[in-house]
A and B are shown apart, each in its own frame.
Chain A
Amino acid sequence: MSWRWGDRLVLAAAWTAGILLCVIAASIVLYMGYRGIQYLRPGLIFSRPQTSSDQAGSGGFLDPLLGTMLLTVIGIALALPLALASAVWITEYGRPSWLARVVESSIEIVAGTPDIVIAIFGIALFQLSLMAPFSFTAEGGGVYGRSFIAAGAMMSLLALPPVYAATRDGLLAVPGHQREAAFALGKTRITTIRRVLLPSVRSNIATGATLGISRIIGSTAIVLLLLGSTLRIETQGSFPGINVLRGTGSSLTTYIYENSPAGEGGAPQKAYAAAFVLLIFVLVLNLIVDRIGRAQASATGLTPVGAVI
């Protein structure tokens, strides 16, 4: 059966599109890998950035690495309770219905807000004098507004929609008879949520959280605007623990940015090394999401919600 020429052209175009995307993805990974192996030395991961006029002496990216991890922890810690509470409330309660529409729409709006606008909002919010304890106050009375807490709080806005959506979809997929069985045994609604429903959507929550972590570690705009302009972690005040939260620092993403020609430039090798590490993190997180999805599919016999891609 032979096809007309026009159809064959479209077929070729479709194949080209598919193969092209694979080629682009593969070349990004291979090129970053090549550059990463070329420039990454274990010492870089464990040494702190230092000011130095010479490349060899300017240290590694331990501080940015710790900064990324700290931001992720703060972001997820703030996002999880909020997202879980919202998802549970929407699926299990959800009255009055105007409130349900408001909550659902708000999370969609937050999901669609560009990172840079979230960052600008963070600056506006944390420069209120009310928020002075969360960063520091310069002489002259202006609140600096940039700290790990400020950036972490805005990161939680990034992670909120994925966790919410995954949890909500998981809860919706729990068959009604599980709830009914719990009620028949005399449990209250809140107890069935705590003891029956939430444990059964554990893997959905994990998927959502991993997607949220992925978004957090990849975000640059929020860190650029909200974490101050120091490469090393600088603490603020003397209360141990809190002083790091109130302090400034950098993340892997801003380290890459600052070392590229767009920032202070001058050290593309460090940028490549850090970018390689960042890409490894992202790939690992992708694999985790994949694994969770496959484990869930084999356990329940259903494909994970929301996945052809």
Chain B
Amino acid sequence: MGSNRLERLLERLRRPWPDHRAERLLGAVSLLVGVGVVAIVVFVAAKAWPLFQHNGLSWVLGGGDLEAEVNRMTAATTNPAAAVFHLRAWPLIYGTVLTSAIAVVLGLTIAILASVFIVELAPARVSRAVIPMVRLLASVPSVIYGLIGILVLVPFVGNHIITTQEKVSVQNVVQLTGAGLGVTAVILTIMITPIMIALICEALGSVPPSWREGAVALGLNPLRAVRAVTLPAIRPAIVAAAVLAAARALGEAVMIQMVSGGKFFSPKPIDGVVFFFEPLRTLASAIVDFRDGVNSPALGAAIYGFALLLLFSAFALSVTGYLVKLPLRKYQTRG
């Protein structure tokens, strides 16, 4: 009796499915991704709740001794008192914003120049050689960037670029080892520039060539034609590239953890050149540093709080990039 029913069920499944059943199944599977995103926000926020419960939103501000606060949190493994949850994590946010901003500004300049070079100025043979190089830079894993940074760049900067005088000048506050803002910003720039180049090249390629030809016909040289006509036309793409690269930059964790020096220190621009040698920490690199404490009640809440902040920032930047790219769609032609 039972086998008969099973056979009939299998037979029903084997026959060609009606469209509405297939549609509903595929729709349900697609919806899983939406559910997943909601789950990400809910889970991370739930675990981060104790941090907000004890600090409100002011944990993003500065003023406390971040190192002491984190040490207190690390030490409190069971049932911590309310005072342990006190956190003022501004140095981390400052570090994140600082590294990402420098990387995006530097990278955008290089990306625009390089994209104009690839699409407009370079002979075809040179372009064909440069494009795989850029793609290569985009696909190198971040741990390899970090490895080269920590084994090559950091010792080089620490031994050959920072002078002993500079080390002595700040030795009461922080130790300069070469791992710090400079190396971090340089490597981060190299990591995010290919993303921007890809977007800007795509946009450059989609501007109708007759626009540029018209400018040249009016007497502009090719470079000026690009500056006057093409670049303004792709302004949305440039913004989108900057925004998406920023989202990538502030989420970079492992590479920054390896080369940033790992100190709860806010580099001070007043220090002049030494500013670029001072160590720092970002939200993401702090999560990597303290990943073992993700289960402890106070430190864990802090870590989830950092992740939540990163999630919302990246989300906001991605949405902005998507919205900015929408007007560009009208230029794109398919195949």
Question: Which A residues lie at the B interface, using CB under 8 A?
Answer: 1, 3, 7, 10-11, 13-18, 20-22, 24-26, 28-29, 31-32, 81-82, 85-86, 88-90, 93, 99, 102-103, 106-118, 120-121, 123-125, 127, 142, 157, 160, 172-173, 188-191, 214, 217-221, 224-225, 253, 256-257, 260-262, 268, 271-272, 275, 278-279, 282-283, 285-286, 290, 302-303, 305-306, 308-309
A279 and B110 alpha carbons, distance in the complex (Å): 25
Complex CA distance for A57 and B308, rounded to whole angstroms? 43
Closest to B21 in A: A190
Contacting residue for A11 out of B18, B205, B223, CB 8 A? B223
Given A85-B30, A86-B29, A188-B19, verify A220-B110 contact (CB < 8 Å). no
CB distance from A11 to the nearest CB of B (A): 6
Contacts known (A88-B26, A114-B250, A123-B294); A308 close to B205, Cβ less than 8 A: yes
Contact indicator A257/B44 (Cβ below 8 Å): no
**Complex: A237 Cα to B250 Cα, angstroms:** 39
**Any chain A CB within 8 A of the CB of B132?**
yes
From B201, which residue of chain A is reached at the shortest CB distance? Answer: A308
Contact indicator A82/B335 (Cβ below 8 Å): no
**Cβ contact within 8 Å between B19 and A116:** no
Query: Chain A contacts of B307 at CB under 8 A?
Result: 116-117, 120-121
How many chain B residues touch A (CB < 8 A): the figure is 97
A112 engages B139 (CB within 8 Å): no
**Taking the nearest CB of chain A, how far is it from the CB of B145, in angstroms?**
8
Interface string of B211-251 (1 = CB under 8 A from A): 00000000001011001000000000000000010011011
Q: Can you report 24 A-B residue pairs in the complex whose CB atoms are below 8 A from each other?
A: A3-B221, A14-B113, A14-B121, A18-B114, A21-B137, A24-B137, A89-B23, A93-B23, A99-B30, A112-B247, A112-B315, A124-B43, A220-B141, A220-B142, A256-B147, A257-B146, A260-B147, A261-B150, A272-B147, A286-B135, A308-B205, A309-B131, A309-B134, A309-B194
Residues B315 and A109 in contact, CB atoms below 8 Å apart: yes
Main secondary structure, interface of A, reads helix
Listed residue (A11, A21, A88, A111) with the most chain B CB atoms within 10 angstroms of its CB: A21
Q: How far apart sit A112 and B201, CA to CA, in the bound complex (Å)?
A: 20
Secondary structure at the B interface, as helix, strand, loop or mixed, is helix
B 35-54 to A, binary, CB cutoff 8 A, 1 in contact else 0: 01101100110110000000
Contacts of A272 in B (CB 8 A): 147, 151
| Residue B33 is within 8 A (CB to CB) of chain A in the complex | yes
Give me 7 other A-B pairs in contact (C-beta within 8 A), A21-B130, A112-B314 excluded.
A17-B117, A88-B26, A114-B284, A120-B304, A124-B304, A160-B33, A308-B201
Kindly state the separation between the CA atoms of A203 and B307 in the bound complex, as whole angstroms: 36
Counted as pairs of residues, one from A and one from B, with CB atoms less than 8 Å apart, the total is: 271
A282: chain B residues within 8 A (beta carbon): 139-141
How far, in angstroms, from A116 to B201 measured CA to CA in the complex? Answer: 29
CB-based contact A278/B144 at 8 Å: yes
- The distance in angstroms between the C-alpha atoms of A26 and B284, with both chains bound, is 29
**Which of chain A's residues have a CB closer than 8 A to the CB of B17?**
188, 190
A218 to B254, CA, bound (A): 11
CB of B202 to closest CB in A, whole Å: 5
CB proximity of B38 to chain A, nearest CB, Å: 8
Q: Is there an interface contact between B29 and A120, defined as CB atoms closer than 8 Å? A: no
Beta-carbon contact of A21 and B134 below 8 Å = yes
Are the CB atoms of A108 and B318 closer together than 8 Å? yes
A191-B16, A268-B151 known; A107-B33 Cβ under 8 A? yes
Does B298 make an interface contact (CB < 8 A)? no
B287 interfacial contact with A, CB 8 Å: yes
Central interface residue in B16, B133, B258, by most chain A CB within 10 Å: B133
Measured between C-beta atoms, what is the minimum distance from A106 to chain B in Å? 4
A15 near B130 (CB under 8 angstroms)? no
Q: Complex formed: what's the CA distance from A190 to B15 in Å?
A: 12
**In the bound complex, do residue A114 and residue B140 qualify as a contact, i.e. CB atoms below 8 Å apart?**
no
**Are the CB atoms of B30 and A86 closer together than 8 Å?**
yes
Nearest 8 pairs between A and B by C-beta? Answer: A114-B251, A112-B318, A218-B141, A17-B113, A190-B22, A85-B29, A18-B117, A89-B26
